[in-house]
């Protein structure tokens, strides 16, 4: 990856963070920081769904398969909660989600 595009700002002196910011952390308002936290968490939850789903697909142990499927489904719940939080708290999400989710319109409609 092009690391010049990633800013590894540290919110507290000397304490690294796993979150990357494109702009100086200190200049970001708290609501923008919260939006970033939610979006990073959403990415992590979706990745976890993928990882558990791969494990479900490859294990031959039926009990383990059931546990992993349960864990995968919990990650979907977490991702859904974060998406709803974004819909309620970050401008633009409500409009886009209402336009694309739970409709019969073509997904790639204009």
Task: Evaluate whether residue 106 is within a structural domain.
Answer: no
- C-alpha to C-alpha distance for 59 and 61, rounded to whole angstroms: 6
Angle at 55 between CA 52 and CA 61, to 5 degrees: 125
Task: Evaluate whether residue 28 is within a structural domain.
Answer: yes
Show pLDDT as tens, one digit a residue, over the chain (110 residues): 444 444 455 555 555 455 689 999 999 999 999 999 999 999 999 999 999 999 999 999 999 999 999 999 999 999 999 999 999 999 999 999 999 999 999 999 98
Task: Evaluate whether residue 102 is within a structural domain.
Answer: no
Strand locations in the chain (E): none
Phi, psi of 103 (to 5 degrees): -130, 170
Task: Evaluate whether residue 12 is within a structural domain.
Answer: yes
Range(s) of the domain holding residue 80? 3-92
Q: Which two tokens stand for residue 23?
A: 């702009």
pTM: 0.81
What is the reported pLDDT for 110? 86
Beta bridge partner(s), residue 12: 15
């Amino acid at each position: 990856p092009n690391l010049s595009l990633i800013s590894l700002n540290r919110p507290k002196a000397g304490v690294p963070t796993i979150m990357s910011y494109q702009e100086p952390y200190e200049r970001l308002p708290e609501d923008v920081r919260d939006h970033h936290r939610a979006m990073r968490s959403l990415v992590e939850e979706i990745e976890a769904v993928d990882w558990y789903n791969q494990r479900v697909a490859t294990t031959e142990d039926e009990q383990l398969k059931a546990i992993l499927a349960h864990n995968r489904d919990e990650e979907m719940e977490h991702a859904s909660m974060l998406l709803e939080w974004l819909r309620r708290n970050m401008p633009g999400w409500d409009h886009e989600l209402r336009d694309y989710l739970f409709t019969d319109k073509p997904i790639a409609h204009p």
